[in-house]
């Protein structure tokens, strides 16, 4: 069991809507999460996408000096990480993927520098909101690739409110109950 004073959860929110469906699910999650929680608002954070300059293949440092520099230590130390996003064209949003491209630092550690990326083992979760089209399997699979990149060893089953065209996530009792179970999983 983790120490409550030091337990940390990092949430990436890939929605442009401050009070949208993803935000409603993230709110329900944070209301129940214990310890320190930090949310990265991918649309508003000053975080550029990776430009594949390949510097991190040689040194554990990303040369892009932006908001990601203070997120890296959080990524390394946190106990839980959550990818939360609306579904856009059956995928995570582009802004979320822009931010996530900066996880390349850890891929380079493993595959090019042959070093331990220094990421604490974590629990992971995926929270999606969709109007009701298509299948959320693809964005869930993408999110799991990102979570594994971050050393999430255990990943909670998908939490998805997938009828927001007619039922806002804030009123989706099933999705809200799953979000609370995700919080309990991350609190363990
Ligand atoms: C550009 C765009 C693409 C979308 N593509 C999908 C989709 O493929 N499947 C789906 O179910 N909903 C799709 N939606 C609907 C959003 O996922 C849905 O409205 C969601 O609840 C918005 O979440 P938010 O309020 O957190 O931003 C799309 C919306 C936009 C703007």
Encoded tokens for 89: 């064209």
pTM of the model: 0.97
CA of 128 to the centre of ligand 1 (A): 10
For 79: left if phi > 0, alpha if psi spans -120 to 50, otherwise beta; the answer is alpha
Q: Which one of 86, 132, 158 would you pick to mutate in the ligand 1 pocket, going by the greatest count of ligand atoms within 8 A of its CB? A: 86
pLDDT band for 4, please (50, 70, 90 cuts).
low
Domain covering 8-187: architecture: 3-Layer(aba) Sandwich (3.40)
Encoded tokens for 18: 């401050």
Encoded tokens for 27: 């709110």
CA of 138 to the centre of ligand 1 (A): 14
CA of 47 to the centre of ligand 1 (A): 22
Strands (E), 21-78: 36-41
In tens, the pLDDT along 48-96 reads 999 999 999 999 999 999 999 999 999 999 999 999 999 999 999 999 9
pLDDT band for 6, please (50, 70, 90 cuts).
confident
Nearest to 103 by CA among 66, 132, 62: 62
CA of 133 to the centre of ligand 1 (A): 8
Domain ranges of the chain: 8-187
Given a cut of 50, whether residue 1 has pLDDT beyond it is no
Do 82 and 30 form a contact (C-beta atoms < 8 A)? no
């Amino acid at each position: 069991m983790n120490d409550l004073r030091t337990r940390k959860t990092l949430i990436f929110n890939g929605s442009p809507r401050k009070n949208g469906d993803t935000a409603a699910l993230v709110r329900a999650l944070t209301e129940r999460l214990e310890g320190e929680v930090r949310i990265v608002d991918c649309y508003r954070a000053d975080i550029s996408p990776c430009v594949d300059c390949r510097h991190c293949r040689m040194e554990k440092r990303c040369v892009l000096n932006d908001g990601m520099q203070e997120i890296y230590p959080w990524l390394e130390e946190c106990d839980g990480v959550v990818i939360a996003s609306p579904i856009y064209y059956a995928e995570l949003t582009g802004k979320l993927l822009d931010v996530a491209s900066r996880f390349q630092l850890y891929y380079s550690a493993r595959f090019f520098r042959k070093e331990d990326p220094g990421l604490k083992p974590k629990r992971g979760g995926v929270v999606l909101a969709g109007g009701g089209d298509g299948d959320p399997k693809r964005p869930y699979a993408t999110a799991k690739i990102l979570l594994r990149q971050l050393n999430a060893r255990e990943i909670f089953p998908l939490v998805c409110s997938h009828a927001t065209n007619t039922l806002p996530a804030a009123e989706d009792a099933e999705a809200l109950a799953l979000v609370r179970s995700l919080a309990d999983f991350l609190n363990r």
